[in-house]
Structure 1
Amino acid sequence: MNCGKCNPQQLGIDFSMAFQPIVAFNEKRTWGYETLVRGVNNEPASFILDQVNESKVHSFDQIIRSRSIRLAHSLQFDQILSINFLPNAVYKPENCIQSTLKVCDELGFDKKRIMFEVTEIEKITDHAHLKNIFTEYKKHQFLTAIDDFGAGYSGLNLLAEWQPDIIKLDMNLIRDIDQNKTKQLIVKSILDVCNGLNIKVISEGIETVGELSVMVDFGVDLFQGYYFAKPLFENLPVVPEACFTLHA
């Protein structure tokens, strides 16, 4: 099974994936892995995304899902697989999800292990369309998430219209939060809202034990960032056991 290359006749862009762990701190385990697009020689995501014009965005969105699932299957892990998707590439949710369902059925990949993330940074003008996408995904038991929450255009307005399973706090809110009282107050407010709506929170961009300590004190358990592991090309990073201990 070829997990490394997409069909050049279908897309004309060749790419692969890197994986970064999402950890459950209190349980001292890896909760899942996010797939991050890379060039076939581990070029950064921008190298690939700059080649995706409007005529290719639908095919790219479809193939990146299939690629992520196939590569995850080949790596034989049983945690959550988090996949970024492009809502503007989904013209009709019930039709566009079929290729993903087909790959899951072909490989015997548990749909409940897949989490679809949409970034808040992308300007989404049609909230009803995005709500329809997430409603369709939940119907098939996929997890849904808003990535980069707090960085983009909509913020809490998105949560007023529909509630994903998870939000991922933007790393700029987390950066140096142990030294920034304003960020602490903002993040506490977001966490209060999420707790009331029964939405799990992933704290992205953790790079220091100080940032981690504050977020653990705030009651967050799921984390992602260089403190635990950098993305690893076509393989799964190992999170050192020491990362699960808060050192004085």
Structure 2
Amino acid sequence: MRRLRPVRGKERRKKPIHDGCFEIRNPARLLVVAPRVPCPVKSEHISDAVASVIGPDFTIAFQPIVDLELREVFAHEALVRGLHGEGAYEVLGKVQAHHRFAFHEACRVKSIEMASMLGMRSRLSLNVAPNDIAGPAECFHTAIRTAERVGFPVDRLMFELTEGEPVADLPALAATFRSFQRFGFTSAIDDFGAAYAGFELLAAFQPDVVKLDVSFVRDIHLSAVRFTIVKGFVAICDELRIQVIAEGVEAPEEVDVLRRLGVRLFQGFLFARPGTAVLPEVAWDAA
């Protein structure tokens, strides 16, 4: 299986290519727990046009994705939150459809800014809606320029395709994600097995990581059917050299079964809840 590991040595890059994008050679993937430091929630670099659309009413929470084999943080997923603790669905529900792309862009900008302020040293997982992606240059442009501006290593960006809407142009989406991989970024499919994230998408392109939907993880130790499905899915991913993240884990028994099936990457309340002001500490001994 293709494993994403720490790489020794200094990052080397070519000159910029098409509209602010960079080709990365030998990207250093540093997978260590980040320090706890305070972080302001206000983003000062979102464009006036975007700010006028969204207003100053959201922040970003980060939840660790842990590698239990290495006992290191693989990545932190950036999750939008309201300033008073509102969840992502409540915040996103207030955004009008024609403003959605601008809002998603603003979320990615703030995520990178806050990750840099917090001293994050793991990958940063940024959610990307399928129809946000118009082409490789446009998709990369804002995230890369923001990372360069705030000093966050661009090779630590992980683009996570969400499953909340149907894919309008699957070939274009697949081409974009293949570009992600060529440029050295980590690519992922979120919530595999739920809604629109299924085998048709996986057949079109093979990401570095697939996040197994919580519906297959929950109580897997009590369900022979879930066990059989996940066992087969992990075998497929192993054959395709794709790593699997089990998301939504809440019980040690779930982790025990999933580890026996070959899963080593986990995300869920069992290990850490999302944190906004600091990067959460991982409860390594919870499982």
TM-score of the aligned structures, taking structure 2 as reference length: 0.80
Aligned counterparts of 2:269 and 2:177: Cα–Cα separation in 1: 29
Per the TM alignment, residue 42 of structure 1 is displaced from its structure 2 partner at its CA by 2.3
CA contact (8 A) 1:123 1:153 kept: yes
Query: Equivalent residue of 2:207, what SS?
Result: coil
Aligned counterpart for 1:136 among listed residues 179, 190, 212? 179
Root mean square deviation, CA, Å: 1.8
Q: 1:198 to 1:147 in 2, by over 3 A?
A: same
CA contact (8 A) 1:35 1:83 kept: yes
Aligned to 2:54: 12
Map 1:51-130 → 2, pairs under 5 A: 51-130=94-173
Q: Percent identity?
A: 36
Aligned to 2:36: none
- One-letter code aligned to 1:122: E
CA contact (8 A) 2:129 2:163 kept: no
Select between 127-136 and 66-75 the one with higher mean Cα deviation: 127-136
Aligned counterparts of 1:147 and 1:227: Cα–Cα separation in 2: 19
TM-score of the aligned structures, taking structure 1 as reference length: 0.92
Aligned to 1:45: 88
Q: Deviations over 1:136-163 (max 9, x none)?
A: 3223321110000011235112121110
CA contact (8 A) 1:94 1:136 kept: no
Per the TM alignment, residue 234 of structure 1 is displaced from its structure 2 partner at its CA by 3.3
CA contact (8 A) 2:129 2:164 kept: no
Structure 2 residue runs without a partner (length 5+): 1-38
Segments of 4+ moved more than 3 angstroms: 5-9
CA contact (8 A) 2:130 2:162 kept: no
Query: Equivalent residue of 2:215, what SS?
Result: helix
Query: Equivalent residue of 2:98, what SS?
Result: coil
Select between 222-231 and 10-19 the one with higher mean Cα deviation: 10-19
CA contact (8 A) 1:149 1:155 kept: yes
Per the TM alignment, residue 126 of structure 1 is displaced from its structure 2 partner at its CA by 1.8
Aligned counterparts of 1:3 and 1:149: Cα–Cα separation in 2: 31
CA contact (8 A) 2:178 2:205 kept: no
Aligned counterparts of 1:232 and 1:86: Cα–Cα separation in 2: 23
Q: 1:120 to 1:173 in 2, by over 3 A?
A: same
Q: Deviations over 1:144-198 (max 9, x none)?
A: 1000001123511212111011000000100000000000110011111100010
- One-letter code aligned to 1:77: M
Select between 76-85 and 96-105 the one with higher mean Cα deviation: 96-105
Select between 117-126 and 58-67 the one with higher mean Cα deviation: 117-126
Aligned counterparts of 1:114 and 1:64: Cα–Cα separation in 2: 14
Select between 126-135 and 210-219 the one with higher mean Cα deviation: 126-135
Q: Deviations over 1:76-100 (max 9, x none)?
A: 0211111111221222331232121
Does 2:202 correspond to 1:202?
no
Per the TM alignment, residue 230 of structure 1 is displaced from its structure 2 partner at its CA by 1.1
Aligned counterparts of 2:148 and 2:103: Cα–Cα separation in 1: 21
